[in-house]
Amino acid sequence: MMDPRFTRRDLLRFGATAAGAAAIAPLLEACAGPSAQATPIPTPTASAKPTLAPASLTVQVGVQNVEFAGILAAEDQGYLKSLALTESLLPFGPNVQPVTVVAGGSAQVGVIGGADTFLKARASGIPVVAIGTMYQKAPSGLVSLAKNPIRTPKDAVGKKIGLQSGARGPWATILSLSGLKESDMTIVPVQFDPTPLVQGQVDGFWAFAFNQPLVLQAQGLDTVFMTAFDAGYKFYGDVIITTDQGARDNADALSRWLRATSKGWDYAFGYPDAVAKLVADKGPALNLDVKQQTAQLKAEKDFMSSSKGIYSMDQATWQAGIDILKSLNQLDKAITAAEVMNASILEMAAKLP
């Protein structure tokens, strides 16, 4: 993110155990020469690996920049094809709600930025379940200019706060934890280009730690970034969801998708320059800057890395999030960590080549 020459569209975003190699090793074939005996003895052959039946998935992601680099790289590098899987990525817009898309059957799997929004949906009776998480802690937060900083939620009182539709849930949670409410400030609907912040239309802008703040800094602007995590929003980020029925009926295809895309992430982090160019080439309408996308991809790694592997999640972290929402009376009914996550598909994925 060193090039200050960014257009408004440059600033767009929304946006299992890791594989040990960047490509799938070829199957070995057993070759036996003819027997020297008069009666040939059958030569044992290498046991064939089971052939996977072709499968396909429709996936709801965000704006297809490097936030989803591993998913795009999985297709480009043939990781999906090697597991007999094809994917169809649905287009994204500022008002797209992944929970609604997945629960309504338009996609078999989706990525939702706000873990609390997912938990509230589950508690309201929508049968969605987490099968993995991209970010081990939410990378979102509020960026402001240093000349008018917002360092804590209370600094937002009386100011204009720019939020995308998907940010309303996390921001409401942060405000509640601080004893505040939206009426204490002015909420301004925005998209993902932080130009409203630069032009003074808002005082704070909901952003990703590795996106808009770095882009603004590259333009020579001094910024302050209040992370959602530090503000009390201690949740996972970019949760991978399906429905309860989907977890049962599509477990095989979903496990292949998790495996292939986790290998895609390994490749993306190993070759960030090449993958950033790939992403930019795949979405010419976004007018993405390759240098900026490369920097963003490198920064993402810290948020995704886990000793347990990419996409890993645990009940303790989920329960902590549930407890936060419960303390704020934001859940329609009691839910448990065991019911909001399904680790079995991730376990299946880890066993795939």
Question: pTM for this structure?
Answer: 0.78
| Mean of all residue pLDDT scores within the chain | 87
**How much is the average pLDDT of 19-39?**
34
The string of pLDDT tens digits covering residues 251-293 is 999 999 999 999 999 999 999 999 999 999 999 999 999 999 9
Phi, psi (deg, nearest 5) at residue 210? -105, 20
pLDDT value of residue 169: 85
pLDDT value of residue 206: 97
Strand order in the sheet with 85-90: 85-90, 55-60, 109-114, 237-243, 128-135
Please determine, for residue 31, whether its predicted confidence score (pLDDT) is greater than 80.
no
The DSSP letter of residue 136 is S
- Of residues 19 and 202, which shows the higher confidence score? 202
pLDDT value of residue 114: 86
pLDDT value of residue 4: 34
Please determine, for residue 28, whether its predicted confidence score (pLDDT) is greater than 60.
no
Q: Give the model's confidence band at 40: pLDDT under 50 very low, under 70 low, under 90 confident, else very high.
A: very low
pLDDT value of residue 214: 85
The string of pLDDT tens digits covering residues 135-153 is 999 999 999 999 999 999 9
- Of residues 20 and 54, which shows the higher confidence score? 54
pLDDT value of residue 207: 96
Amino acid identity of 180? Answer: L
pLDDT value of residue 23: 32
**How much is the average pLDDT of 22-43?**
35
- Which CATH fold would you assign to the domain 140-227? D-Maltodextrin-Binding Protein; domain 2 (3.40.190)
Tell me how far apart the alpha carbons of residues 142 and 31 are, in angstroms, rounded to a whole number.
62
The string of pLDDT tens digits covering residues 54-102 is 999 999 998 899 999 999 999 999 999 999 999 999 988 777 899 999 9
Q: Nearest-5° angle of CA 24, CA 293, CA 295?
A: 95
H helix intervals, 104-231: 115-123, 168-177, 195-198, 212-218
Percent of the chain with pLDDT over 70: 86
pLDDT value of residue 315: 96
Q: Are strands 204-208 and 140-145 parallel, antiparallel or unpaired?
A: antiparallel
Selecting from 2.40.110.10, 1.25.40.10, 3.40.190.10, 3.40.50.150, what CATH number does the domain 9-16+54-138+235-350 have?
3.40.190.10
pLDDT value of residue 49: 56
The string of pLDDT tens digits covering residues 206-228 is 999 988 998 899 899 999 999 99
Q: Where are the domains of the chain?
A: 9-16+54-138+235-350, 140-227
Please determine, for residue 351, whether its predicted confidence score (pLDDT) is greater than 60.
yes
Do 9-16+54-138+235-350 and 140-227 share a fold?
A: yes
Tell me how far apart the alpha carbons of residues 269 and 273 are, in angstroms, rounded to a whole number.
9
Tell me how far apart the alpha carbons of residues 170 and 252 are, in angstroms, rounded to a whole number.
32
